[in-house]
């Protein structure tokens, strides 16, 4: 598949070319969105938002070969927007109701499988550290890709991962003298 050629066609308004580009990486887009949002419905919503933005803004892409990093950056930003919207929607009554009905026996943190434990641990980190660790160790992105997606220097990515892993080790009771 010639990405550059398809991007040029998409810039000229060829919807089929844009669709081919998206379909080629659909699984990667989905995994990325799911990693941020944690559920299928929200991941699909973020992907739909990304597709609309790609269609509306493809003419602004300067370097055709950067299509996938550009589109994934748009997807990450859409995911972050959805997270912000969801945080605002949580009702205090629902939260209080949840707290009142939760007992020690049903607390997912106290009696959980590894997935809940990992999620809980990542929630203890600051947002940037958790994001970098998810991209590196869950999606297996390299430092450069994470740098491009998060729009920070590679050194900052490495620092966030290092500091995040150090904090995770402390939370799990590990020794930091390795």
Six-digit token string for 14: 């060829």
Domains and CATH numbers, the chain: 1-89 (1.10.1740.10)
Q: How far is Cα 44 from Cα 99, in angstroms, rounded to an integer?
A: 29
Output the pLDDT for position 58: 94
Q: What is the pLDDT of residues 93-141, one digit of tens each?
A: 444 444 344 433 443 433 445 556 777 788 888 989 998 988 888 888 8
pTM passes above 0.75: no
What percentage of the chain has pLDDT greater than the value 90? 52
Handedness of CA 8, 14, 16, 19 (dihedral sign): positive
In the block, which residue shows the tokens 């949002």? Answer: 37
Give the confidence band of 78 by pLDDT, cuts at 50, 70, 90.
very high
């Amino acid at each position: 598949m010639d990405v550059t050629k398809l991007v040029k066609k998409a810039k000229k308004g060829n919807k089929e070319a844009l669709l081919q580009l998206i379909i080629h990486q659909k699984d990667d887009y989905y995994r990325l969105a799911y990693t941020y949002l944690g559920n299928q419905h929200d991941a699909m919503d973020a992907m739909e938002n990304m597709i609309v933005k790609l269609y509306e803004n493809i003419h602004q892409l300067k370097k055709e070969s950067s299509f996938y990093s550009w589109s994934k950056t748009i997807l990450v930003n859409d995911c972050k927007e959805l997270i912000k919207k969801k945080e605002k929607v949580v009702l205090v009554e629902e939260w209080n109701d949840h707290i009142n009905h939760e007992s020690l026996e049903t607390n997912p943190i106290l009696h959980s499988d590894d997935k809940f434990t990992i999620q809980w641990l990542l929630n203890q980190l600051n947002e940037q550290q958790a994001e970098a660790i998810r991209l590196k160790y869950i999606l297996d992105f390299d430092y450069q890709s994470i740098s491009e997606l998060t729009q920070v220097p590679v050194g900052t990515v490495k620092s966030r991962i290092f500091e995040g892993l150090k904090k995770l080790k402390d939370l799990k009771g590990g020794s930091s003298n390795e």
